[in-house]
Amino acid sequence: MAEFLPLSLVHSLDVLLAEGSFRRAAERLHVSPPAMTQQIKRLEETVGYALVVRGPQPVALTDRGAQFMLHAREALDASRRALGTDGTPRLRIGFISGYPRSLDEEFLVRFRTTQPDTQLEFVQLGWGEQASRLLAGDIDAVLARRPFDHEDELDTVVVHREARIVALAAGSPLADRATLRLADIAELPVLRASATSAEWNDYWSVDPRPDGTPVTYGGWAHTMEEALTAVAVSGNIIITAESIGVRFTHPGVRYVPVTDAPRCAVELCTRRIDRRPLIQVLREAAASVP
C-alpha cells in the first residue's frame, strides 16, 4: 500500500461518483472510457481494495470505499485550498418528493449562516433510495422519511413531525369533507410506491389499520406525478404527509386531513461513521428546529 494518496486519481473517483457512470465521467474529464476505468483501477491498486461496485447505475462505492472517500474528499479539498484553487467545502443533500419544505429550508438557511463558505448541492432521490444512496457515499446526508433500511448504520435527527392527509379524486363524495378517519376510506384502493420495500408501502398505507380492517390495494406509481394522475382518474387514493399537499397540486385531486392516522416525520440522516466537523454542525442545525 502506498504512503501517500495520488490526488489526481481521487479527483477522478470524485467525478465518477458525481456523474454516476464511467462514460459521463470520462466525457467530463476529457478522457476515453477505458482510460477512466484504468484510473479507478490504479487507485484501487494503490489503496489495496475495491472502491466501487461495478455494474449498477449510478456507480456506487463499496463499504470500504465509502469510508475511504470520507477522508479522501477532505484531502482533495485541502489540496485545492493549498493551491489557491476552488477548495469550497461541499455537502450533497438528498431528498425525496416534497422536499425541502419550509422547516427543512429554515434549518439549512441557519446552517449556511454559520458555514457561509459551504456549498450545498441537492440531489432528488427515488422513494427507495434514501439509505442506499447515502451509504453508497454519493450524498453526504438525506432528508428522509421512514421506514428506511440499515438504520444501525445511520445517525438520525428528527427535523419536524407532521400530520397525514389522504389524496382523493376531486369528484369523490369524500373530497369535500373537512376531515376524515381511516374507517371512512377503508374500502378505497390504496396506490403503492414502486421500487420500495413492503415495509414502506405498509407504513404509508397504514397497514394494518388500528381496527384490523384489511387494506385494499390498487395500482403502482414511481413518482408523485404518476400517483396524483392515478388518484385523479382511477379512483385510487394515497395517504401521505401534509406537506405533500402543499408541494404537489393537481386539478383533479383534493387533499383531506386524516385525523386518526399516525403522524410522520422528516429526519436528517447521515452515516454513523461520518465524523467530519461539518456534518456535526449540520446535525446540530437540524436538532435546533423548534
Q: pLDDT digits over 98-150, tens only? A: 655 566 778 998 899 899 989 898 988 989 999 988 887 778 999 999 999 88
The DSSP-derived string for 10-25 is HHHHHHHHHHSSHHHH
HSE-up (13 A, CA, CB side) for residue 96: 26
CA angle 143, 279, 281 (to 5 degrees): 100
Spell out the residues 6+ positions from residue 33 whose beta carbon is closer than 8 angstroms to its own.
22, 23, 26
Contact 239, 166 (CB under 8 A): yes
User: Which of the four pLDDT bands, split at 50, 70 and 90, describes residue 18?
Assistant: confident
Query: What's the mean pLDDT in 260-272?
Result: 95
* Paired residues of 255 in beta bridges: 167
- CATH number for domain 164-262, candidates 3.40.190.10, 1.20.1630.10, 3.30.830.10, 3.30.565.10: 3.40.190.10
Lowest mean pLDDT among 1-5, 68-72, 103-107, 246-250: 1-5
Dihedrals phi, psi of 95, to nearest 5 degrees: -155, 160
The percentage of the chain sitting over the pLDDT mark of 90, rounded to a whole number, equals 61
User: Which among 280, 288, 278, 244 is positioned nearest to 115, based on CA atoms?
Assistant: 278
User: Which among 154, 172, 227, 161 is positioned nearest to 196, based on CA atoms?
Assistant: 227
**Average pLDDT value for the chain:** 90
User: Which of the four pLDDT bands, split at 50, 70 and 90, describes residue 193?
Assistant: very high
Q: Write down the pLDDT at residue 237.
A: 98
Q: Write down the pLDDT at residue 75.
A: 84
Q: Write down the pLDDT at residue 39.
A: 92
Query: What's the mean pLDDT in 80-86?
Result: 66
Q: Write down the pLDDT at residue 206.
A: 97
Query: What's the mean pLDDT in 21-43?
Result: 91
Query: What's the mean pLDDT in 190-210?
Result: 95
Domain 90-161+265-287, CATH: 3.40.190.10
Q: Write down the pLDDT at residue 197.
A: 92
- Write out 85-105 in H/E/C secondary structure: CCCCCEEEEEECCCCCCHHHH
* CATH fold of 7-83: Arc Repressor Mutant, subunit A (1.10.10)
Where are the domain boundaries for CATH 3.40.190.10 in the chain? 90-161+265-287, 164-262
Query: What's the mean pLDDT in 25-43?
Result: 91
SS3 142: strand
Q: Write down the pLDDT at residue 106.
A: 85
Sign of the Cα pseudo-torsion (227, 231, 237, 239, in order): positive
Rounded CA-CA distance 74/93 in Å is 17
Rounded CA-CA distance 69/87 in Å is 16
Rounded CA-CA distance 265/161 in Å is 4
Rounded CA-CA distance 141/271 in Å is 8
Query: What's the mean pLDDT in 163-180?
Result: 97
Q: Write down the pLDDT at residue 84.
A: 62
Which value, in Å, is the radius of gyration of the alpha carbons in the chain?
Answer: 22
Query: Does residue 30 surpass a pLDDT of 90?
Result: no
Kindly state the DSSP code that residue 30 receives in the 8-state scheme.
T
Contact 4, 72 (CB under 8 A): no
Query: What's the mean pLDDT in 23-51?
Result: 91
pLDDT higher for 251 or 288?
251
User: Which of the four pLDDT bands, split at 50, 70 and 90, describes residue 203?
Assistant: very high
Query: What's the mean pLDDT in 16-23?
Result: 88
Rounded CA-CA distance 2/140 in Å is 27
The percentage of the chain sitting over the pLDDT mark of 70, rounded to a whole number, equals 94
Q: Write down the pLDDT at residue 85.
A: 58
Query: Does residue 81 surpass a pLDDT of 60?
Result: yes
* Paired residues of 92 in beta bridges: 121
Query: Does residue 290 surpass a pLDDT of 60?
Result: yes
Rounded CA-CA distance 156/148 in Å is 11
